[in-house]
Amino acid sequence: MSDSLSRKRPWLAALLAVLATGLGHLYLRRWRRALGWIVALVGASVLFVDPGTVDALLAGNPVDPLAIAPIAVVGGFSVVDAYLLASAQNALAQRRVAVEDGQLTHCPSCGKELDDDLEFCHWCSTDLGAFGDSADEIDGDDA
């Protein structure tokens, strides 16, 4: 698995998490975290929600909103977590390729600070010549 981070859209991660708990985390490629949220949702519904209420909800019948509040709370926390996780991943990806005066300050591969005199990262041995010297080559297109 590569250590490089790609930029993700926090609003899309949150929207996917609204559609289905864990889906936003799958978009972020956080498989275990998505599974954890699904287990939390199932656990909350088994422990705190009446089985008759779950059956009525699955059948499409109207249910008391307070009766399914534990499911909504877990789903809401999942949405917030997916949004914050995508935002944090973007901040980390931006920090890893920070450019100052046309020079890389951090390694695009491992994220550690670089020595200006070397053409490779002395932490992970990544050849920095492949990344170029300009911000345009490193940041790419944000679209």
For the record, the structure tokens of 140 come out as 């790419």
Cα(36)–Cα(43) distance, integer angstroms: 10
Half-sphere exposure at residue 13, Cβ-oriented, CA atoms within 13 angstroms: 25
Q: Domain ranges in the chain?
A: 10-96, 99-143
Half-sphere exposure at residue 59, Cβ-oriented, CA atoms within 13 angstroms: 9
Residue 117 has what pLDDT? 83
Residue 142 has what pLDDT? 45
DSSP secondary structure string for all residues of the chain: ---------HHHHHHHHHHSTTHHHHHTT-HHHHHHHHHHHHHHHHHHS-HHHHHHHHHT----TTTTHHHHHHHHHHHHHHHHHHHHHHHHHHHHT-EETTEE-B-TTT-PBPPTT-SB-TTT--BGGGG-SSHHHHH----
**Residues 105 and 135 sit within 8 Å (Cβ to Cβ):** no
Residue 99 has what pLDDT? 59
Tell me the pLDDT of the chain (143 aa) as tens digits: 344 566 789 999 999 999 999 999 999 999 999 999 999 999 999 999 999 999 999 999 999 999 999 999 999 999 999 999 999 988 877 665 555 566 777 777 777 778 878 888 888 888 877 665 544 444 444 44
Distances, alpha carbon 131 to alpha carbons 50, 75, 96, 108, 119, in Å: 57, 40, 12, 8, 10
Residue 139 has what pLDDT? 45
Residue 129 has what pLDDT? 76
The Cβ of residue 49 has, within 10 Å, a number of other Cβ atoms equal to: 17
Residue 90 has what pLDDT? 84
